[in-house]
Amino acid sequence: MLKKAVFPGSFNPFHLGHLDILRRAARVFEQVIVAVYENPSKPLLFTVEERIELVRETVKDAQISNVQVASFRGLTVDYLKSVEAYVMIRGLRVFSDFEFEFRMALANQRLAPEIEIVNFMTGEQYIHISSTTVREIASLGGDVSSMVPPNVEAALRRRFADKTSLSTDM
């Protein structure tokens, strides 16, 4: 087993594709921190506290013991340094992710050459899932139970029952 790794993202909301990457990372690293990006410049469908809580519940239900959940602002590489982690986990779905992830990895290497970016490939049953798709379907009253854990599905149902007029790009 290797040491500590950080899995950063907006997780707006956390879905089964994210959970798949997290399970794979937790099998390889001793400790994995899911780092929820606060993104103070943009209001998201779920607040940072809500996103953290949804990840915590999911991790508990999935019984993955070596995972912590935290939030961060600013540069991801600065957050990694602050917790003394030198591995950043990212997920890869389809080929189109590769270019974006590769560009981001190169930028992060420039910023912090001591940090390694490790990409895990998702299981084929999750390649179509994205937070955007999940939000869009849920906002229209569609069934997202095959894409998100039950606690996230319930949270989406509550959120869209409250705010039927919310824009789906949040």
Q: Which residues bind ligand ADP (CB under 6 A)?
A: 9-11, 17-18, 21, 90-91, 93, 97, 122, 126, 129-131
CA gyration radius, the chain: 16
Catalytic position from the list 18, 51, 90, 159: 18
Which residues does residue 37 pair with via DSSP β-bridges, in sequence order?
Answer: 72
Q: To the nearest whole angstrom, how small is the minimum distance from the Cβ of residue 16 to ligand ADP?
A: 7
Q: Of all residues in this chain, which one has the CB nearest to ligand ADP in the complex? A: 17
Q: Is 15 a catalytic residue?
A: no
Q: Is 18 a catalytic residue?
A: yes
Question: How far, CA to CA in Å, does 152 sit from each of 4, 14, 74, 81?
Answer: 26, 7, 26, 30
Q: Is 103 a catalytic residue?
A: no
Q: To the nearest whole angstrom, how small is the minimum distance from the Cβ of residue 65 to ligand ADP?
A: 21
Torsional sign, CA 53, 57, 168, 139: negative
